[in-house]
Amino acid sequence: MVEGTTSNCGTMTWAGGIRNSIGCSSTLMANEVTFTFAQSYTKVRYLCKLGVFGRYCYDLPYTITEDPFSGNTVFDLLTETTKDVTLPTLTISVLGCYDTTWKVYLQADNSDMEVTSPGIFTIADPVLTLSSTIMNYSLRKSLFGSKTYYFVGTTATIPTPTISSQFSFTIDFQDACQSSTITAKIFGIVPVKFDISETQTEPAFTDSVDATGSLAQGICGEKRITLDAGAPAFLTLTADADPINNPFSLAFDHT
């Protein structure tokens, strides 16, 4: 603690063995006193007695004004892994007295998104952070679409907390894979003689998103091909361990 140092709205001085402080101005309210020591002594004894006088926060009249808010957001699930949405703000006339805690809910069922989707929706004032994994196909599918959410703030006023209005906004989770089409191709079986077996390979199928060349091959997932019901038993299809990038095999075995 250094004589005459001003921190925020108070000044601590040393005078006649009694430590007097100058309080905040009429627009500010002190809510804590911090002592910082930097001494080489092994002991500090009988440091001081401290008395703090003044009006408490809950003893002061206050007003809470909801500031204008717009949080509509677009999240491209194929190119983005995180996106921040700025939280609403409140103007409280008594500065520094009351904290506000924010929650985010899905409008369709009023579910708390930090509870139902932990790690995907995370609030850390002053933002809501959205998170997704590009190669997590099931997660992308569950998020896809435009949905309406709302924020609600709880201000710790005394004796009763003050609940804000619902601040509505939309998140448009976009995923071009949801409207992509598989690229058609025709292939035939290499002619073989009776009682002879043969295996041929065919390139993995692609889709219209792959065709753009702007995103990772197979970002829309694996394309599977199967034989129709009733196909002859001597025909078999076998996928590669990497069905996105490597060819599949078509076997003819009539031995």
What string of pLDDT tens digits covers the 255 residues of the chain?
344 444 455 555 444 444 444 444 444 444 555 555 555 555 555 555 555 555 567 677 899 999 999 999 999 999 999 999 999 999 999 888 899 999 999 999 999 999 999 999 999 999 999 999 999 999 999 999 999 999 999 999 988 999 999 999 999 999 999 999 999 888 777 666 666 788 889 999 999 999 999 999 999 988 888 888 888 888 888 999 998 889 999 888 877
Q: How many residues does the chain have?
A: 255
- Residue 42's pLDDT is what? 57
CA 159 to the chain's CA centroid: 33
CB 137 within 8 Å of CB 181: no
Tokens of 253: 């075995």
**Domains plus CATH for the chain?**
1-54 (no CATH), 64-177 (2.60.40.10), 197-253 (no CATH)
* 215 class by beta-carbon count within 10 Å (0-12 exposed, 13-18 middle, 19+ buried): middle
Strand ranges for 97-193 from DSSP E = 100-106, 111-112, 121-124, 127-131, 145-155, 162-163, 167-174
- The pTM (predicted TM-score) of the whole model is 0.71
- Residue 32's pLDDT is what? 56
Tokens of 181: 């089409």
Task: Cite the DSSP H helix spans in the chain.
Answer: 113-116, 137-143, 208-212
| Rounded Cα gap, residues 137 and 57, in angstroms | 51
